[in-house]
Structure 1
Amino acid sequence: MNDWSDRLESGSEILRRQAVRIPLPDVEAERDFHRNMMRIAAAGDRKSELLDDPDVPLTEVYEAELDEMRQSFEHRLQQVAGEDYYDIATAYLDGERDDWIGALAAYYLECYYRLQERYTVDEQIFFLVILRYPECFTVNLSFLTGTFSSDAVRYESSKHVDADLDEQEREQLHGDCQYTQHRAAQYLRENVDCIRDAVPDPDTTPFEQRRYGGFVHITGRNGSMFHEILESLSPDPDRFDETPSTPGLVPEGPAAKRAKQEFLTDTEVLI
């Protein structure tokens, strides 16, 4: 971990404000993309159910979400670069290779390590934008610091409150936190379909109706307070001129920039 952090700090800015672009050359690729997005939507449904369960501490909800995200990144790393993904990623950052496999391995590995840090660093904001275009899709992952706008749903964990409270005060705090978690669960239930709407089933939806779509998901924690945004996001139809032949890194794009400006303030991009 330290070696990786040192290499990034001494290297260039190649990973900052970047997104992954993946071609969609045929219906089978679209089916795979659709299945992956349905898994993300199902994870949102599970999170909503856990948030609404008074017997499940918010710490467990948070840790379960992070663990699922880490496993997803590790799976992507192995898909892209195999078991030697660390060596491939570091070779790319060191300038020893210049190919899309090395670029994606470096990108995913940095995101994987940032997620590891979120167990102990509570001021990082996780920013995800997925956009569908006719011949490809992009995944923009950023780790930021900053402040959430009023659009965010806020919910609190009594276990994270560092205060000297008597029994009555703790009971009141616990009840207040449960109420905010219930509201967050309701928000997710109402908004998680934006993921499904962004990537409809290619076997049941005409191509003209699935050419464009997208969503943004932003989460963060500051002390005992958690923040979340899940909203639809429209891609820019004129962004790409050429059809991609291989996956690769591209600039984050105007839609992602707009989402950061709309939903966050005083942001600083870590990656």
Structure 2
Amino acid sequence: MMKKWILSAMIVVVSVLLSGCLYPQERLTQNQIPYKEQVERVQQAVNEYRQATGGLLPIKTRDMSTPIYQKYPIDFNLLVPRYMAEPPGNAFESGGVYQYVLVDVETNPTVKLLDLRAAEAIRDLKLRIRMYQDTHGYPPFKDVLAKGVFTLDYKKLRLDAPPYVVSPYSGKNLPLIIDGKGEIYIDYRIDLYETLQSEAHHYRYGDDIRDLLVKHSLFVPAYSLPYTIDEKKKEPIFLVK
């Protein structure tokens, strides 16, 4: 009888330990999934906040020079707990990999996601470039993509392959590129080309076409340069001013 009791107790303990090990992994997975329902729930909270405050936006203050898609991060301290119980599990504030941001703030404030894993990749690459530049005096530029836009000589950075991030749109590898000032950007031309082919649009040369990605997905093209369309080839090109 005692042996059976001990065996039962051990099974319970092991079960508890296993669930304790599995839960963080399950939670980690959930924190990396861009649930549409979570975005919709935050959108509802933002709408209710605006209605209650006379149109104010629940956002953190950013410098005016901040790039447009990183400029309006949502401040969940203004939404929780009155307008929602807690930030979504995939939000940075909950240990997730996404920052919730607003776009189209002047006319139709809309909730979108910014993938923070790209920021980590860019930060790591900048560190390598800084170390190279400290020795050589300039970044390891390679090929010219457009005026003031270059690929990187990854071998000089002691990398095994050209640096990239995984696209939140297509899951494809998007190259990391550099401008003349040493700033790192994500090259979204692959995603833009596919979206130009699959979605109706009326863009002309000179228009910034990045908004096409925003309209047809949950994500913003963060850390990007402006793009326009080559009207003859019907493909994206850098919008050089």
* TM-score interval for Structure 1 and Structure 2 normalised by the shorter chain: under 0.3
Q: Which of the pair has the greater relative contact order for Cα pairs under 8 Å at 6+ separation?
A: 1
* Structure with more helix by fraction: 1
Structure 2 length-normalised TM: 0.21
Structure 1 length-normalised TM: 0.19
